[in-house]
Amino acid sequence: MADGRDPLGRDRMRGAVNPSHHGSRSPFEARGSHPPPGPAYQTPERRPGWVPPPSGAPGVRGPPPSGSGAGPARAGPNEPRHHYTSSSGAGDAAGASTSRESTPGGPGAARGLGGPAGPGGLGGKPIRRRPLADTLRTRLADSKTKHGSTGQTLSLQSNYFKLVKRVDWTLSHYAVSIVPPCPSPRLAQSLVNEHKTILGGFVFDGANLFTGSKLPSEEMVLHSKHDRTGDKYEVHIERVATVDMTGETGIQVLNLILRRAMNGLNLQLVGRNLYDAAAKIPVREYHIELWPGYITSIRQHEADVLVCCEIAHKTMRMQTCYDILRECQRHDRNYKDAFRKAVLGCVVLTGYNNKTYTINDVTFDTTPESTFDTKNGPISFMEYYKNKYNIRIRDAFQPMLLSRAKKKDARSGDNELMALVPELCQMTGLTDSMRSDFKMMRAMADHTRLNPDRRIERLETFNRRLQTSPESQEVFRVWKMELDRRLVDVPGRLLPQEMIFFSTTSTGVQAGDNADWTAHFRDNPMFATVRLSRWYLVVPGRCQREANDFLGCMIKAARGMRFEISNCEIIPMQDDNPNTYMRTLDSIINKDPQMIMCVVSNNKSDRYTAIKKKCCVDRAIPTQVMVQKTITPKTGNIRTLMSVATKVVIQMNCKLGGVPWKVKIPLNGLMTIGFDVCHDSKDKSKSFGAMVATLDHDNRGTPKFFSTVSHHSSGEEISTYLPLNTVKALNEYRREFGELPKRIIFYRDGVSEGQLQYIYEHEVRSLVDKLGQIYRSAGIEQEVLLTFFIVNKRINTRFFDQRLNPRPGTVVDNVVTLPQRTDFYLVSQSVKQGTVSPTAYNIVWDSSNLKIDHLQMLSYKQCHLYYNWSGTTRVPAVCQYAHKLSFLVGQYLHQAPSSLLEKKLYFL
């Protein structure tokens, strides 16, 4: 099943949990007190859900306060937390279920050829499915070619396999209803499966049947009988439509078929992807395991149906939630709060059903000895796991974890909290402290960052297993499919190297094969500099020696790049307390400095947040924050700091309004815009959208910059302020140069596949309309020359050049692209470890009259202009700037910065 849903999850136990107590003492309750009576678990139809107990019950909390929402109410540190759910919802108590109907072979036995079970058409409450939107088509049939010709031709391979033999991908869609109404989705699958010989290859989701060939009649009635009870049923099948295999429904059907074929590989479904637990890689010194797995998708590409396969790894920690509980109990006096803090928001894996859950809360009032009612009478969690999975729970007094049902379950009515047993929940993912452990991340990278030759070998092994598995072969045989054993060949092109210009008079230097021009700063000035004469260095007393040495390196590095830096005034501090920094900054700001540099002893976020809020929100002063470790020479040799000093000097010049380098862009009157979104780290319902624009009036002049931030509370990466912010950038362009830009290139990042239609219909169209109004009001009647890109770097496509990484500048615009879009892939970076990841560009609006070659080269040029790194970036510089700004605001500021900083790259 592609979404990991429990096939038994529609027919759950009923009733309420009754607390049961024994004479033994809980190891986690102080002074030997027993756990208080547990809250009621009430499920009118399906699953045990966590609900408040009835008012007045002895030893049980009362009803929730009026006006309470569905989420957990916040309590004081020593108060119990209340959790509320609607009575009509249903949670999944540790995946527990007792199905009324069963079929031999386990949960996935009666599934036709790959379709997940669903309740629609079974006579019960139908699932509320989201409407399926067709794949966004932005390329017209008569549009100009999407294939470029500039550059050196390449013969590449990609991580795709071709379906060399297949049926005509025109699936027939049929509606299915069962009379009398069927009580179980699994039973419905079994009843339909009885007619495999008539239906042939099919996918059935409980209400819809998709077949590879038309059935003998438009309407059919098939007769089935339950194997165990002998009950007779009629399966009514009526033709609905023909499925377009390039549409969303066709893509889903193809992926269901592929997922069914992969069932023969003995992989485990964890979340949405399949992992090979048998091939797990232990990293014992850090108590973690890496589960190798595969991310697959299948869809119609330019000329063929292709299967994309990417290697994935799931990080599993060698500890359960119970282990964390015991650790908190040993080391923390208030272990309950410590345990809550340690597990809240974490994702856990329950091995008995291979499902993942996010922990939303912990209840110490309920234990595994608590019982819930079923049709066969009350049963405790301990008894249930023993009977259902033959699992013995060791500690009867441990608390229970609560996980809110996922959206897909909530849409089908399962909107309760689910109860999980800590000792059965394995921790997944990494903590912040783990991520900050360089040695640990390096040890993981040795296994997860596969070089191209190792990645190709793993892909070929996957293909070989898929070809030789009997179950997989049966699926391919039924659907008359055959998978190619070779990776697909892809034509590509290598764009010319860019010239990096450090002045208007220089001839420029080549970016190099690896697109890195760091070494050229030793011999060249920066393109444009701003004299730094009034600036201050704030430093704690214990860091003063390192700060003085680093200051000397900075002045020396700046002199070589023709950047004038006067000696700063050093302000020593007694300690590095955030309040001390605030008092010191207040005294400095009154002196109207150009810049303030702060040296901090470590990476504590509260100190960094205080500094940035004071200088970016309260006042408008560019700041440079340096950690003591960064400015300390590793071997005691101060010369080793010169490379760090060079990068810091470049940053400082940019924050003042300078420009380190340029590339040649042969377009006058150009405005390039980047947009990205970051969620607020404190409040996930809030997001900040950042827009950064580069203003180029003359390609030989110095570009100007403009940035702005908008707050929106939807929690989604979609901004309704985009047209308004673009107008602000247009007004700034007009103030700087006295006219509107002739051409606008817009790069929109932070968009998922499911948001494309919304972005096109709302953001793009409203932007085009707004720009039209602005230009007409300025007396310009011609259509605005606008190109709108959707930029996506979270993709699974990879390319290989003779079993090596492609070089920076590699473009692919055929074979693996989509026929309904004007899209291409661009490899703009060079990596030293692992396989390089390309970036996908999708042109959803283009009235620029530029050739596709020009748009591809322009996008590659933009990847050279991120001034925080003397090399290329994965996305155009304006996108990287927008990401940097939105991250600063979402993670630290939590409010829009001062508008006085809009013209500077203060966020670098």
**Which residues have a catalytic role annotated?**
676, 749
Residues 124, 127, 131, 135, CA torsion sign: negative
Q: Report the interhelical angle of 321-331 vs 335-343 (nearest 10°).
A: 140
3-state secondary structure of 723: helix
CB 239 within 8 A of CB 208: no
What backbone torsions phi and psi does residue 301 show, to the nearest 5 degrees? -105, -155
Vertex 447: Cα angle to 443 and 453 (nearest 5): 135
Task: Classify residue 138 as exposed, middle or buried by CB count within 10 Å of its CB (0-12, 13-18, 19+).
Answer: buried
Spatial contact of 343 and 401, defined as CB atoms under 8 Å apart: yes
CA distance 893 to 908: 15
Nearest residue to 586 via CA among 608, 553, 619 = 619
Residue partners of 753: CB distance under 8 A and separation at least 6: none
Phi first, then psi: give them for residue 358, nearest 5 degrees.
Answer: -100, 130
Which residues are registered as beta bridge partners of 163?
483
Q: Calculate the dihedral angle through the C-alpha atoms of 112, 116, 117, 121, rounding to the nearest 10 degrees.
A: -90
Residue 179's φ and ψ, nearest 5 degrees, are -125, 130
Contact (CB, 8 A) for 414 and 46: yes
Beta carbons within 8 Å of 610's beta carbon, 6+ residues apart: 578, 581, 582
Q: Is the dihedral of CA 798, 804, 807, 812 positive or negative?
A: negative
- Give the C-alpha separation, 253 to 54, whole Å: 46
Q: Residue 772 and residue 847: Cα distance in Å, rounded? A: 12
Residues 6 or more apart whose CB falls under 8 angstroms from that of 654 comprise 660, 867, 868, 904, 905, 908
Say if residues 675 and 690 touch (Cβ distance below 8 Å). yes
